[in-house]
Amino acid sequence: MDLSQAIRDKARELLETGAVKCVIGYETGTDGINARPAFIYEAAEVDRLIFDETCGHNLATYLLHHRAENIAVVVKPCDSRAINLLHGEHQIERDKVYIIGVVCPGVVGRQWGVKGRQLLPACQACTDRNPVVYDYLVGEPVAEGAPAPAPPLPEVEDLERMPPEERCQFWRREFERCIRCYACRQACPGCQCTECFVERLEPEWVGIRIDAPQNWMWHTIRAFHLAGRCIECQACRRACPVDIRLDLLNHKLAWEVAQLFNFRPGMTAEALFPLATFVRDEKLGVGEWASS
């Protein structure tokens, strides 16, 4: 049975029995090519649901807007880690969410015109094919080896090799395109503060002007607030209208967190976040100046 049909059948069952009020899934967008999020409230509407390689959005983010109701959501493996993240941070109640996990074949970027089949670089490197948490699984689970920590993306390594001035030039060119629409924040399941630091006026951390220092501030702190929490679903990158390489910043921090603390966020809901805990006698070998 194909993935779309399996999702439709489950959605129909859930809506007909009244187990959930809404099923959040994907449907074909108005261009007939790219998928878009779909919110299905009626069993008669379930045939709109699809799943294909354009289903890139992380739908777990929408759970933050539907906290009061029972909701079913279609998730890929990376999105399922976002559910663990939100559950672990007490942002959602697990028993109000019905998770339809999809064994993920990888997704493509936004398609213009003809459908392409080139998977996103992150998906090509990804080894997580099965959702880490689900109530109902769509597709045949793939046998997975021990989760080996993925090597850093080649582009991250290239940047690390550059002298600081060149690296700084690279980021300046990236950040100067930013129009500070905050689409990256809206798309991110981890960005769920009710009042974001950029909107605080007292003190005003980031000015309203769109210029190099203000943009730098936004991107630095956005990345840092996701340190040890980013599940690298690429939602921010996909949402960015000017194609800023936010994925490189996130990947750098995720990789360093894995190295320093042997931690991958979202693998379980119970895990303690590395920045919320400490080990008394640890030597991190970075940051602390080598005075001892």
Interacting residue ranges for another protein, rule: CB under 8 A: 159-160, 164-172, 197, 205, 211-214, 216-217, 220-221, 223-224, 227-228, 249, 252-253, 256-257, 260-261, 274-275, 278-280, 282, 284, 286-289, 291
As measured in angstroms, the least distance from the Cβ of 207 to another protein is 9
* DSSP 8-state class, residue 36: E
As measured in angstroms, the least distance from the Cβ of 84 to another protein is 21
Between 148 and 286, CB nearer to another protein:
286
Between 112 and 224, CB nearer to another protein:
224
Q: Sign (positive/negative) of CA torsion 122, 192, 252, 281? A: negative
Tally Cβ neighbours within 10 Å of residue 234.
23
Q: What angle do CA 190, 192, 193 make, to 5 degrees?
A: 130
Between 44 and 168, CB nearer to another protein:
168
As measured in angstroms, the least distance from the Cβ of 144 to another protein is 28
Between 145 and 164, CB nearer to another protein:
164
As measured in angstroms, the least distance from the Cβ of 118 to another protein is 27
Contact 266, 75 (CB under 8 A): no
As measured in angstroms, the least distance from the Cβ of 222 to another protein is 11
Q: Which residue has the tokens 């379930």?
A: 46
Between 13 and 256, CB nearer to another protein:
256
* DSSP 8-state class, residue 20: -
- Which strand (E) or helix (H) includes residue 37? strand 35-40
Q: Which residue has the tokens 């679903």?
A: 233
Between 211 and 243, CB nearer to another protein:
211
Beta bridge mates, 74: 100
As measured in angstroms, the least distance from the Cβ of 249 to another protein is 7
Please give the Cα distance from 46 to 15 (Å, whole number).
9
- Which strand (E) or helix (H) includes residue 27? strand 22-28
Please give the Cα distance from 125 to 98 (Å, whole number).
28
